[in-house]
């Protein structure tokens, strides 16, 4: 029998494992509210969990009232509800993160705070024995993300140890999950071109985003989603060429056919030489411009097209016909919450389960973004 199965557990640990995992959320802004909704939806769908504590420095948010939307939510996200965020009679609230982390009823911590607070909060949560979901970007510098990755590996070395996931929600978004499986199975032949776009008006709800030194600009805050997905899908590129500005970037990813797919979801031989792989992100559009995310992937036998503005976002175009593809309800936050709850359930049972995305992936995408940033500043192609 494995050590995980034979290891004796204390009565306290047995009792904790017998109850639904307690969730604590640090940061109740737009994304924090999405996480509240996603874990509540997972509970209603049969994955038991309970919100036990929240933390924010804003008294209105701690009152449990749903603050008015400060921007229109993405078309694929759940609409912001006017209902109370949580029951103040059942959920403990505090402006101090250390109080939430010290709460023994909190098993899983969501960190949805400004980027420059992520690593220290996540390290403290792991040290307190909590499972962690930390928002993207984890940090702007590779060495900071690597420090968290080392701590995450250390605590996971023990059976049932805490897990730490970066919130790379596009890995779990229905249209993106569909694309991953379709390309891995080579349903439509080889990939000739893949273009990803993520566009919005300038964030105006917080001065944080205007401070490039803290937010990293559009490259780290918005483009990070597609950079991570490109690398997860096609493997690490040989080089990148990035142009634009801190508010609007386009990156061309250079993959060689002999390397394409290494470490990615697509088989190594599924890309043609010099396949065209591009990601664009911009938040410099005029106020009122609707957030949209799109991809167009050209394969040998079909074009796969996703547009969040359409009633049927995903379409397959081939042989002169356009076919709408049905996707599961929900969004990437929902899939992410469900996946994390499964991983946590396994850990609480003393089983080691490898999450679909890890802090090591966050290290890799931070390295990739650093190369893109260098290319943007220098105007040159940068080798990885």
Contact 200, 283 (CB under 8 A): yes
Give the C-alpha distances (Å, rounded to integers) separating 97 from 26, 54, 104, 118, 305. Answer: 7, 9, 14, 12, 42
Peptide bond before residue 137 is cis, with ω within 30 degrees of 0: yes
The lowest-confidence range among 7-21, 66-80, 333-347 is 66-80
DSSP string of 85-142, one letter each residue: SS-TTTSEEES-HHHHHT-TT--EEEE-S-GGGHHHHHHHHHHTT-EEEEPSSS-SSH
Read off the pLDDT of residues 241-278 as tens digits, 9 standing for 90 and up. 999 999 999 999 998 753 444 456 665 554 444 579 99
pLDDT of residue 259: 40
Residue 189 CA from chain centroid, whole number: 28
Average pLDDT, the chain: 88
Q: What is the pTM of this model?
A: 0.88
| Cα separation of the two ends of the chain | 43
Give me the residues paired with residue 134 across strands.
111, 166
Please state, in angstroms and rounded to a whole number, the distance separating the CA atoms of residues 131 and 151.
12
- Fold agreement between 3-168+334-353 and 174-328+367-383: no
pLDDT of residue 315: 98
Average confidence (pLDDT) over 192-218: 87
* Confidence grade of residue 77 (pLDDT, cut at 50, 70, 90): very low
What is the number of alpha carbons within 13 Å of residue 256 lying toward its C-beta?
6
* Confidence grade of residue 203 (pLDDT, cut at 50, 70, 90): confident
The verdict on domain 3-168+334-353 having CATH code 3.20.20.70 is no
Residues near 46 by beta carbon (within 8 Å), at least 6 away in sequence: none
Phi, psi for 70 (deg, rounded to 5): -95, -5
Give me the residues paired with residue 132 across strands.
109, 164
Percent of the chain with pLDDT over 90: 74
In terms of CATH, what superfamily is 174-328+367-383?
Answer: Dihydrodipicolinate Reductase; domain 2 (3.30.360.10)
Read off the pLDDT of residues 222-241 as tens digits, 9 standing for 90 and up. 999 999 999 999 999 999 99
* Confidence grade of residue 82 (pLDDT, cut at 50, 70, 90): low
Q: In terms of Cα–Cα distance, which of 162, 147, 57, 45 is closest to 108? A: 162
Q: What is the CA radius of gyration of the chain?
A: 21
Please state, in angstroms and rounded to a whole number, the distance separating the CA atoms of residues 231 and 265.
9
Average confidence (pLDDT) over 288-307: 96
Please state, in angstroms and rounded to a whole number, the distance separating the CA atoms of residues 71 and 50.
28
Domain boundaries, the chain: 3-168+334-353, 174-328+367-383
């Amino acid at each position: 029998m494995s050590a995980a199965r034979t290891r004796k557990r204390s009565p306290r640990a047995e009792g904790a494992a017998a109850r639904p995992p307690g969730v604590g959320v640090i940061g109740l802004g737009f994304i924090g509210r999405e996480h509240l909704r996603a874990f509540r939806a997972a509970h209603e769908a049969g994955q038991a969990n309970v919100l036990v504590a929240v933390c924010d420095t804003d008294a209105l948010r701690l009152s449990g009232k749903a603050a008015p939307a400060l921007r229109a939510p993405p078309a694929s996200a759940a609409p912001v509800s006017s209902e109370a965020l949580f029951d103040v009679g059942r959920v403990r609230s505090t402006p101090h993160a250390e109080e939430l982390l010290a709460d023994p009823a909190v098993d899983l911590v969501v960190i949805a705070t400004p980027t420059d607070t992520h690593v220290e909060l996540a390290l403290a949560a792991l040290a307190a024995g909590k499972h962690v979901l930390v928002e993207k970007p984890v940090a702007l510098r590779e060495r900071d993300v690597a420090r968290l990755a080392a701590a995450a590996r250390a605590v996971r070395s023990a059976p049932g140890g805490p897990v730490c996931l970066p919130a790379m929600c596009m890995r779990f978004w229905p249209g993106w999950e569909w694309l991953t499986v379709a390309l891995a199975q080579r349903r439509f032949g080889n990939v000739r071109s893949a273009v990803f776009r993520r566009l919005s008006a300038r964030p105006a709800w917080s001065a944080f985003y205007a401070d490039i030194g803290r937010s990293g600009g559009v490259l780290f805050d918005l483009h990070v989603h597609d950079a991570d997905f490109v690398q997860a899908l096609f493997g690490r590129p040989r080089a990148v060429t990035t142009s634009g500005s801190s508010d609007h970037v386009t990156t061309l990813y250079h993959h060689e056919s002999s390397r394409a797919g290494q470490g990615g979801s697509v088989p190594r031989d599924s890309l043609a030489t010099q396949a065209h792989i591009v990601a664009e992100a911009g938040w410099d559009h005029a106020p009122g411009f609707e957030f949209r995310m799109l991809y167009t992937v050209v394969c040998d036998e079909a074009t796969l097209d996703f547009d969040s503005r359409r009633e049927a976002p995903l379409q397959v175009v081939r042989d002169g016909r356009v076919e709408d593809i049905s996707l599961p309800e929900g969004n990437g936050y929902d899939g992410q919450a469900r996946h994390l709850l499964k991983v946590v359930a396994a850990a609480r049972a003393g089983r080691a389960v490898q999450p679909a995305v890890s802090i090591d992936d966050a290290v890799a995408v931070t390295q990739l973004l650093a190369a893109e940033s260098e290319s943007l500043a220098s105007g040159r192609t940068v080798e990885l």
